Amino acid sequence: MYIRLILGTMLLSMGIFLSGCNGARESEEVAYIVAIGIDKAEQEGMIKVTYQIARPNVEGNKGEGEKDTVLISNSAITIAESLNLLKATTALVPSMSHVKVLVVGQELAREGLANMWGSLKRYREYRGSMFVLVAKGTARDFLEGNKPSFNISASKYFETMLDSGVETGYYLRVSFHQFYIRLKSNSAESYATFVDISNLSGKGEIATPKVAGSKIEGYTAGGIPLQGGNPIQFAGTAIFNGDKMVGTLSTTETRMMAMLLGNFNNGFLSIEDPLLPKKFLNVNLRLGSAPNIKVALEEERPVIDIKIMLEGEITNLPSGINYEQESYLRLLEEQVNQVCHEEMANMIQHTQELKSDVIGFGYYIRPKFTNYQDYLQYPWFEKYSQAKVNITIDTKIRRTGLMIRTYPVK
């Protein structure tokens, strides 16, 4: 008993003694970075890193209209050096542990980022759960342009914004972990959310034209006609080949990609009315089950079989044709199938042209091998661009919304 007391006091005194040099940091001594942007610097071979640092809302210290974050940029050879520069130039100790998004400028992304990811993954303060964005312009401009219209903090803005991507399927949330896994994997290529600032002119810029039977065009970030509100836009996907960005997918393509990834939870589809092509129809779709994908490794080129089950609900029906009826419903479902089929085929073709298997068909060939070495030797990424794709889409319109029939306007 006595010795226990002695040991206890020893522990305690040790604790007290050591408290000076144990590296505790009071919460207000730390600068919490919520976003990092990486761009190509003007100087050759250097990068420009932009840190968005949250500013605690100290009572009485905040002026009217002042932003709750501070943007600091510096140029350095590497990210680590840039962090050093930041530490040297700010009063507080910067902490990466709360970084929500990592924004990469398009120019840099297209050049390749291989030497950068390693340092991001190795240092303990960077987290796998931060999200990766690719900005069409520069990351600095993007972060600067971000003016949340609702009264939420910058960190919350990014999280809710990326969360709400699942509402439409127009952009996908990619964590750094997912990005990195695909970077190192032999089965899939990386992708990132595509973002840009809009000029708020209200004019759009169409990235992919509408397919036959569809009523909607695809946009990429910056191209969505927008007036008012926060000028920054999340739309589309930047796709990579290895560590280099090779292209973008538009909103509609991204939606098809979401279906293939099994992430498509909700999204409106506007299509032509099959009987009155002038009018349109609106259905709310979601995946009925996980996509059923099979890849056969034929001699000359692989064959990809895709089966997608969609479930839907009619949300708008201006034509007044009674699609709620069983027989008409088939027509409607057929139309949805056809539109989705075409969009998906276009999207896959697009990725095949870019030689980037962002959907991860490469995962589906893995069970075909018994040995890991054999699998590694199979040149999947080369074969992918030649692959033949068979798509079957099966749509079931389960519900008709709050109305079961429409009476024509008198």
Partner 1 sequence: MNDLHPGKLGVADGIALVFGIVMPRVFLSTISNLIQQDGPILWLAMVIYTIIPLIILYMMAYVHKGITGDIFIVCQKLIGTIGAWGILLSYSIMFLSNGALILRLYSEYTLLTALPRVEFQVVIVWYAVSAGILCYLGIEALTRTSYIVMPFSIAAIGMILLLLIPFYIVYNLTPWQGNGVMQAVQTGIKGAGYNVGVLALVFLAPAFQNTRTIKKAALYALSYAGMLRVSFILVYTMVFGNAVGAEKTMPLFELARLVYLNQYLQRIEALFIVVWVVFGLLAVAGSLYVGLYLLAVLLKLPTLRPIVPLGAILIANLAMMPPDIGYVLEVDQKLITLFDVGIYVFPTLLFIMAWWKKRRGKLCTSASS
Partner 2 sequence: MGKRMISNLITGIKDVLVYQPPDQPTPFVLVEPRTEKEEIDGEFFPSAAVTEGIRELEFMINYAKKLDTFMQKSSKDLRSKEKHEVVKKIKAEFEMIQTEWKEIKKHTIKNHSIDGMYNNTVISTDINENQNMLESIYQLPLNKDVVIRSITISDQPKIKVLIVFMDGLIDKKIINMTLLEPLMFMKNSKEHVQGEDFISFVMEECLPSGQASRVGSFREVQQAINTGDAVVFFDGAGEAVTVETKGYEHRSIGTPTTEQSVRGSQNAFTEVLRVNTALIRTMLHASDLVTEMIPIGARGHSNCAVMYIKSIANEELVEEVKRRVSSISTDIITDSGILEHFIEDFPRNPFPQTLSTERPDRVAIHLSEGRVAIFIDGSPFGHILPVSFFTLMHSSDDFSLNLYYTNMLRLVRWFGALLSLLMPGLYLAISTFHQEAIPTELLLSIAAARAQVPFPTVVEILFMEFSFELIREGGLRIPGILGSTIGIVGALILGQTAVTAKIVSPIMVIVIALTGLASYSIPDYRLASAFRLSRFVFVLLAMSMGLIGVACGFLLFIAMLCSLKSFGMPYLAPLAPKTVNGGDIIFRSPAYHQKRRPDALNTKDEIRQKNTSRTWITDSSKGGNDHE
Q: Which does 366 bind (CB under 5 to 8 A by kind): partner 2, partner 1, none?
A: partner 1
Contacts with partner 2, residue ranges (CB under 8 A): 1-2, 4-5, 8, 11-12, 14-16, 18-19, 22-28, 30, 32, 34, 54, 56-59, 95, 97-98, 100, 127, 153, 155-156
369 near partner 1 (CB under 8 A): yes
| Residue (44 or 64) nearer to partner 2, CB | 64
**DSSP string covering 136-176:** SS-HHHHHHH---SSS--HHHHHHHHHHTHHHHSSS---BH
- Only one residue has tokens 């990466």, namely 96
CA distance 237 to 248: 5
Q: Which does 58 bind (CB under 5 to 8 A by kind): partner 2, partner 1, none?
A: partner 2
Query: What 3-state DSSP class applies to 184?
Result: helix
Site string for partner 1, 148-177 (x = CB under 8 A): --------x--xx--x-----------x-x
Number of residues in contact with partner 1 under rule CB under 8 A: 41
List 43, 89, 97, 325, residue binding partner 1 (CB under 8 A): 97
410 near partner 1 (CB under 8 A): no
Contact 336/312 with Cβ under 8 angstroms?
A: yes
Contact 321/276 with Cβ under 8 angstroms?
A: yes
Q: Cβ of residue 218: shortest distance to partner 1, in angstroms?
A: 27
114 near partner 1 (CB under 8 A): no
Q: Cβ of residue 83: shortest distance to partner 2, in angstroms?
A: 16
Q: Tokens representing 35?
A: 């976003």
**DSSP string covering 209-265:** PPPTTB---EE-TT-S---SS-SEEEEEEEEEETTEEEEEE-HHHHHHHHHHHT---
Q: Cβ of residue 126: shortest distance to partner 2, in angstroms?
A: 11
Q: Which does 93 bind (CB under 5 to 8 A by kind): partner 2, partner 1, none?
A: none
Which helix (DSSP H) or strand (DSSP E) does residue 17 occupy?
Answer: helix 2-18
Q: Cβ of residue 177: shortest distance to partner 1, in angstroms?
A: 6
CA distance to 28, 98, 118, 119, 171, per residue, from 124 (Å): 21, 12, 12, 10, 29
- Only one residue has tokens 């990609």, namely 257
**DSSP string covering 305-358:** EEEEEEEEEEEE-TT---TTSHHHHHHHHHHHHHHHHHHHHHHHHHHHHHT--T
| Residue (55 or 244) nearer to partner 2, CB | 55
Q: Cβ of residue 20: shortest distance to partner 2, in angstroms?
A: 10
Q: What is the DSSP letter of 85?
A: H
Q: Cβ of residue 51: shortest distance to partner 2, in angstroms?
A: 15
Long-range contacts of 228-233 (CB under 8 A, 24+ apart): 228/200, 229/149, 230/146, 230/147, 230/148, 230/149, 231/145, 231/147, 231/197, 231/198, 231/199, 231/200, 232/142, 232/145, 232/146, 232/195, 232/196, 232/197, 232/198, 233/195, 233/196, 233/197, 233/198
Q: Cβ of residue 108: shortest distance to partner 1, in angstroms?
A: 23
| Residue (30 or 116) nearer to partner 2, CB | 30
Which helix (DSSP H) or strand (DSSP E) does residue 54 occupy?
Answer: strand 47-54
206 near partner 1 (CB under 8 A): no
List 45, 371, 382, 409, residue binding partner 1 (CB under 8 A): 371
Q: Cβ of residue 34: shortest distance to partner 2, in angstroms?
A: 7
Q: Cβ of residue 93: shortest distance to partner 2, in angstroms?
A: 11
Q: Which does 21 bind (CB under 5 to 8 A by kind): partner 2, partner 1, none?
A: partner 1
Q: Which does 30 bind (CB under 5 to 8 A by kind): partner 1, partner 2, none?
A: partner 2
Q: Is 45 left (phi over 0), alpha (psi -120 to 50) or beta?
A: left
381 near partner 1 (CB under 8 A): no
19 near partner 1 (CB under 8 A): no
- Point out which span in 109-117, 270-278, 308-316, 361-369 binds partner 1 (CB under 8 A): 361-369
> Interface residues with partner 1 (CB under 8 A)?
3-4, 7, 10-11, 14, 18, 21-23, 97, 121, 124, 127-129, 156, 159-160, 163, 175, 177-178, 180-181, 184-187, 363-364, 366-375
